[in-house]
Amino acid sequence: MSEKENEKFDDELLDASGVISNKIPSGVDRRSFLMRSAVVGAAAVMTGQVVSARSRTLKAFAESLPEQNPAPPLSSDLAVVKKGKGPVLTTIDEFYKVGPGPSSSHTIGPMRITYDFYQRATKLPADKLAKATALKVNLFGSLSATGKGHGTERASLAGLVGKEPATVDPLFLDSLRDKPDQTFPVKLGDKTITVSLKDIIYDATKGDFKHPNTMTAKLMAGDEVLLEQEYYSVGGGFIEWKGYTPPKKNPPKYPFATMKELRAHADSNKLSIAKVMLANEMSIAGRTEEEVFAFVDKIINAMVATVKSGLSMPEDDVLPGPIKLHSKAATVYKRAMDDTYQADRGIGALSAYALAASEENGRGHLVITAPTGGSAGVMPALVYGLIENRKLPLQKVRDGMLAAAAIGYLCKHHATLSAAEGGCQAEIGVASSMAAALVATANDAESRVVENAAESALEHHLGMTCDPVAGYVQVPCIERCAFGAVKAWTAYAIASNEIASRHRIDFDATVQALAQTAKDMNSKYKETSEAGLALSVVLC
């Protein structure tokens, strides 16, 4: 080493700022970059090499670039992708669905799909059906990657044998888990085919799929395919298929595609958001007010029932699956009731309600998509608390359910409700946002406060990834529902106490951020169980 080089080397040891370059190139994680830069500098010291600040910067930059694993784009011909154009046309019965947990996209969606295929198959001409020998279902993408943990094969088989999600006895699904070798006759015309779990095939997890939750169903005659359909479980229990066109609907009374437009209708007509939603439900679906509320009541009752059922489970109950997770809802509830302070009792009880409904989801029992199965503890916790604790009149909770639906519709319209597309922000984040709108509406908040509460709850879930341990919707999902419920209450508490017009972020901007974050999120964090907690937690 020359004398000049030696001097430079000594200087760099004296001046730490030279060892750690402080110019961080864009597109690079700051922490990772600084660490790499320090390592490069330290390696230079140890090996006696002189490395210029520029060389260190370039080397650290190269080594700090995140491993690129961009999410594959969704096919542009999916209705779920085209949906952002035009007014919101979703209706409440499409949105709130009752079905077996643990996942709207991995159990309710696949079950609806195979039930749909079963019905199509029954309509084939008798001569075709006479040749049929087998029914086969292939699961791809995320359905294959995490389907085992969700019981996707059991849900798919249940639909294939003609069972519907809203009415299936959860004990039937439990029996498929406990006795997996059972066979079932499926009657198609005069022909009876025998099916079993072996007919549900976990296929490729990676590939050029139109949607990460892709599956196919086939009716076979030996090697010949009599009927085949490709389907997509697009989130929240919604399904599409190749060539799908959304059903024709009536125009809404108050067309809106954004919260801004929805609030403008409410404010200019001196209506609440709930009343605007009610008018739209009636006009789009051609229903009476009584019919709309009859459905809303059914969902409210189902939510209350799921919390009650979860709280009534024994304290030492162990949820199905390899995690051997002990149920904690009943314990948390009992202990919360003994807390000295009222506020502690409130937060403890709200958490326990969310845990109760979410544990029911983990058991594969009936839950309500609000908006999904993984997030099925959030809304029921608030509904239960408002009805059982606050003793609010039913009509206020009904209105809250309509306002919450508006939030879910807008998130579906412009972003996603699918963890396979957007991570957990699209499930628990949307659920928490809906729950905040529910509480605000039930407490007679004005439309701006309802928006602000929903915005705040969604904002503080942005970026949340989906990484269920062992592919089971239990960790982090069950506790995450409790946090989603408490955050919803916090969002309402802030929104109802701040000066509403000073809230700087509007709901539409946050939904856009949700959509953009979903797009940018590494696909490992989208319900694949390949990263995050699913990777760092070792089960033994």
Q: Tell me the residue type at 362.
A: G
Q: Which is nearer to ligand SF4, 36 or 480 (CB)?
A: 480
Q: Which is nearer to ligand SF4, 129 or 424 (CB)?
A: 424
Q: Tell me the residue type at 441.
A: T
Q: Which is nearer to ligand SF4, 103 or 258 (CB)?
A: 103
Closest distance between ligand SF4 and the C-beta of residue 378, in Å?
Answer: 10
Burial (0-12, 13-18, 19+ Cβ within 10 Å), 461: buried
Closest distance between ligand SF4 and the C-beta of residue 526, in Å?
Answer: 8
Which residue(s) pair with 134 in the sheet? 220
Q: Which is nearer to ligand SF4, 138 or 416 (CB)?
A: 416
Closest distance between ligand SF4 and the C-beta of residue 442, in Å?
Answer: 24
Q: Which is nearer to ligand SF4, 159 or 468 (CB)?
A: 468
Q: Which is nearer to ligand SF4, 397 or 473 (CB)?
A: 473
Q: Whole-angstrom Cα distance, residue 358 to residue 329?
A: 9
Closest distance between ligand SF4 and the C-beta of residue 384, in Å?
Answer: 19
Closest distance between ligand SF4 and the C-beta of residue 105, in Å?
Answer: 9
Closest distance between ligand SF4 and the C-beta of residue 532, in Å?
Answer: 8
Q: Whole-angstrom Cα distance, residue 477 to residue 427?
A: 10
Q: Which is nearer to ligand SF4, 217 or 466 (CB)?
A: 466
Q: Tell me the residue type at 51.
A: V
Contacts of 522 (CB under 8 A, 6+ apart): 66, 69, 70, 71, 531
Largest Cα separation within the chain, whole Å, is 96
Q: Whole-angstrom Cα distance, residue 528 to residue 140?
A: 12
Contacts of 218 (CB under 8 A, 6+ apart): 135, 136, 137, 138, 225, 226, 227, 228
DSSP one-letter string for 253-267: SS--SSHHHHHHHHH
| Token pair in block for residue 166 | 């809203």
Q: Is 204 helix (H, G, I), strand (E, B) or coil?
A: coil
- Cα pseudo-dihedral 18, 22, 28, 30, rounded to 10: 110
| Token pair in block for residue 146 | 């995490």
Closest distance between ligand SF4 and the C-beta of residue 145, in Å?
Answer: 12
Closest distance between ligand SF4 and the C-beta of residue 74, in Å?
Answer: 17
Q: Which is nearer to ligand SF4, 235 or 252 (CB)?
A: 235
| Token pair in block for residue 227 | 């009927």
Q: Which is nearer to ligand SF4, 415 or 419 (CB)?
A: 419
State the angle between helix axes of 477-497 and 428-442 in degrees (0 to 180), rounded to the nearest 10: 40
Closest distance between ligand SF4 and the C-beta of residue 98, in Å?
Answer: 18
User: Around Cβ 282, how many Cβ atoms within 10 Å?
Assistant: 18
Q: Which is nearer to ligand SF4, 155 or 402 (CB)?
A: 155
Residue at shortest CB range from ligand SF4: 374
User: Around Cβ 197, how many Cβ atoms within 10 Å?
Assistant: 18
Burial (0-12, 13-18, 19+ Cβ within 10 Å), 506: middle
Closest distance between ligand SF4 and the C-beta of residue 480, in Å?
Answer: 6
Which residue(s) pair with 201 in the sheet? 138
| Residues that bind ligand SF4 in the complex, under the rule CB under 6 A | 374-375, 419, 424, 427-428, 466, 468, 473, 476-477, 480, 527
Closest distance between ligand SF4 and the C-beta of residue 106, in Å?
Answer: 8
Which residue(s) pair with 135 in the sheet? 219
Closest distance between ligand SF4 and the C-beta of residue 329, in Å?
Answer: 16
Q: Which is nearer to ligand SF4, 145 or 292 (CB)?
A: 145
Q: Which is nearer to ligand SF4, 139 or 276 (CB)?
A: 139
Query: Rounded to 5 degrees, what are φ and ψ at 74?
Result: -80, 150
**Residues 367, 100: contact at Cβ < 8 Å?**
yes
Please, what sign has the CA dihedral across residues 309, 315, 320, 321?
positive
